[in-house]
Amino acid sequence: MLLELRIGNLALAEDLVLRPGAGLTVLTGETGAGKSLIAGAIALLTGGKAERGLIRRGEDLAFVEAVCDLDAREDLRAEVARLGLRLGDDGLLVLRRELRREGRGRVLVNGMLASVAVLEELGRRFFAIQSQHQQQELATGEFARELLDAVLGLRQQREMVAQALADFRSAQQDLAGREREVAAASEQLEMWRYQHGELVAAALRPLEEEELAESLAVKRHSRALQEAASLACDRLATGAAPAREALGAAIAALQPHAERSTRLASALDQLRAAAELTADAATELGRFLDGFQIDPRSLDELEERKALYEDLRRKYRCDVDSLIALRDKLAERLGRQDLAAEDLARLRDAYEAQRLRLTAACRDLHDVRARGAARVSAAAEDLIRPLAMPQLDLTVTVDLRRDPDGPITIAGEPCSVAPHGANDVRILVRTNPGENQGEVGAIASGGESSRIYLGLLMLRRADRRPLLRVFDEVDAGLGMDAATPVARLLRELARDAQALCVTHLPTVTVYGQDHWRVAKSVHGGRTTVDLERLEGEKRVAEIARQLGGEGWRRGDAAAQTTYARELLAAADGAPAPAARRTARARGNS
């Protein structure tokens, strides 16, 4: 629940603190006292437009702050977590919005900076503000559709449609992507086949080009290389005075005396290392001479093979490893293209299966909506007609979203689909007999729209309950007696969520379980709005004032006070309005 609302330096409010009760809180005061300022301040916590002109004269900063207790609201705690925000162990959340005369304002959530976008998403989930401008929302198809689905309990079927649509779109994208791939491949197919054949015929190997360079060097300089290798081998191992024997003689001469001198021992080690290297070199030269004719190919063949590598690298502008990778990739592409017909057939079957599944889900949802619309219309009329609208004719209409290019067909009509189904839902009303039905905004007055909205809200009150519902003069245009059913409905609505009602009628005020009065006062030449919680005789006096109007003290104050007590007593003993209409509206849905 909302524990506290604090308003500082906003318009005429210097420092207002409102602590609404758990049920219906009423806000009263003389005309122009600033009652609607409270609703406007709460609107700022839902992301409403903040204008510098709202800042109190002479001040640089204005703010609105709400302290919310979410301990008993798991759904709202989940919403907070979804936005990446954290609650303390006490379950409290503090929303604060600051307006600055110079520079940008700030949004804080539990003392941490946040964006207006986060405030808008969170605040509109916490606070539902209803006013005479509510007909703008009433006229939207979204409101009508959400109302119908909430009352009929179609959440599960809506989720099935949304999932079916997601799966359909995925299958549609898979098919379209493969079709594009096949179409593009058909244009490149001959080139791919040629390139693949060329690279396969080349039989490239990763290290062959280096081997070719070695073989070509040997072939081109074979005589000189052979003579040099033979001479070196002879000098090292097989000649008249081979180096290997000379090193052996030197080692033999030093070995008996190595222990007597460290320098001789060091020289001996160096000679032994030289002997090993000489032996290794001689062995390698021998292998070179033994394998001199190991590559049987002619010089021309080697030159052609080397030129093939160079031509392919230049043609494809990549190295040998990339050429081999390209060959394998082309093989994969050609293989996929050979399977194109099979793939397309499979993907088309999957697409059609998902389309039929989507069609069935949308058709079932449409049928339930169409059958339940009349029951919801009747239940809404039962709730709203007692609210000084006895001739109200309200109809919830359910139409198909006809679209010649739509992917599904229902009742022979091609339709477009959204995650909420294939229907357009509207609320049409007639407030005067003999007139045409039409949208609420075009037919009903501001006060009538507010009462229509109130009645519809009762039907779906269990759906997405806010923390606080705010009603700004929902009783506008009503007489005292006609407002009593509205007041009873407000009290009933406040049973599952706090409600704050700005009112000027005593027959609404008496149904409040918490009563606050707004009044203006002048201090030091400055006008300020003050808030006072009324109980006991103060509350009776305020209701008596409402009974007598602005000049009530000139009337029969005693009679008005007595009547105020009678109204309070009657409201305290009044039965709650019937709560069975929503269940009746659900019917056999």
Q: Which of 107-116, 300-309, 394-403, 565-574 has the highest mean pLDDT?
A: 394-403
Mean pLDDT of 491-501: 88
Q: Is the pLDDT of residue 45 over 80?
A: yes
- HSE value, Cβ hemisphere, 13 Å, CA-based, for 161: 23
Q: Which is it for the CA torsion 210, 212, 215, 218, positive or negative?
A: negative
Residue 112 burial (10 A CB sphere; 0-12, 13-18, 19+): exposed
Pick the range with the lowest mean pLDDT from 116-125, 335-344, 375-384, 406-415: 335-344
- Supply the DSSP symbol for 402: B
The per-residue pLDDT for 462 is 64
The per-residue pLDDT for 551 is 47
The per-residue pLDDT for 578 is 46
Mean pLDDT of 227-231: 78
Q: Is the pLDDT of residue 577 over 60?
A: no
Q: Is the pLDDT of residue 138 over 80?
A: no
Pick the range with the lowest mean pLDDT from 8-17, 38-47, 167-176, 566-575: 566-575
Mean pLDDT of 180-188: 77
Coil, strand or helix at 306? helix
Mean pLDDT of 479-504: 87
Answer whether 539's CB lies under 8 Å from 512's CB.
no
The per-residue pLDDT for 418 is 95
Mean pLDDT of 329-337: 78
* 49-80 pLDDT per residue, tens: 888 888 888 889 999 999 999 988 888 888 88
Work out the pLDDT band at 95, boundaries 50, 70, 90: very high
- HSE value, Cβ hemisphere, 13 Å, CA-based, for 273: 6
> What token pair was written down for 130?
């209803």
The per-residue pLDDT for 377 is 95
The CA distance from 205 to 208, in Å, is 5
Answer whether 486's CB lies under 8 Å from 453's CB.
no
Q: Which helix H or strand E contains 26, and what residues bound it?
A: strand 24-28
Amino acid identity at 500: L
Q: What is the percent of the chain with per-residue pLDDT over 70, rounded to a whole number? A: 91
Chain mean position to CA 223: 78
The per-residue pLDDT for 292 is 61
Q: Is the pLDDT of residue 513 over 90?
A: yes
> Judging by DSSP bridges, how do beta strands 468-472 and 127-130 pair with one another?
parallel
Tell me the CA end-to-end span of the chain in Å, nearest whole number.
Answer: 33
Amino acid identity at 297: R
Residue from 379, 376, 381, 375 nearest 394 by CA: 381
Work out the pLDDT band at 241, boundaries 50, 70, 90: low
Which residues 6+ apart lie within 8 Å of 478 measured at CB? 388, 447, 486, 505
Which CA distances in Å does 92 have to 127, 129, 315?
A: 16, 22, 70
Pick the range with the lowest mean pLDDT from 186-195, 243-252, 340-349, 404-413: 186-195
Residue 564 burial (10 A CB sphere; 0-12, 13-18, 19+): buried
The CA distance from 378 to 481, in Å, is 24
Q: Which is it for the CA torsion 180, 184, 186, 192, positive or negative?
A: negative
Chain mean position to CA 261: 85
Q: Is the pLDDT of residue 284 over 90?
A: no
Answer whether 11's CB lies under 8 Å from 54's CB.
yes
Mean pLDDT of 315-344: 83
Answer whether 375's CB lies under 8 Å from 584's CB.
yes
Q: Which helix H or strand E contains 531, and what residues bound it?
A: strand 526-534
Work out the pLDDT band at 132, boundaries 50, 70, 90: low
The CA distance from 212 to 438, in Å, is 89
Q: What is the 3-state composition of the chain as percent helix, strand, coil, each rounded to the nearest 5? A: 55, 20, 25
* 406-462 pLDDT per residue, tens: 999 999 999 999 999 999 999 999 988 888 888 887 787 777 888 888 888 888 776
Coil, strand or helix at 450? helix
1-131+473-532 fold: Rossmann fold (3.40.50)
Mean pLDDT of 125-142: 71
Q: Is the pLDDT of residue 137 over 50?
A: yes
Q: What is the domain partition of the chain in residue ranges? A: 1-131+473-532, 184-338
Q: Is the pLDDT of residue 263 over 70?
A: yes
Residues linked to residue 394 through DSSP beta bridges, in sequence order = 429
Residue from 106, 43, 124, 208 nearest 464 by CA: 124
* 199-211 pLDDT per residue, tens: 888 888 888 888 7
Q: Which residue has the higher pLDDT, 108 or 219?
A: 108
The DSSP line for 189-221 is HHHHHHHHHHHHHHT--TTHHHHHHHHHHHHHT
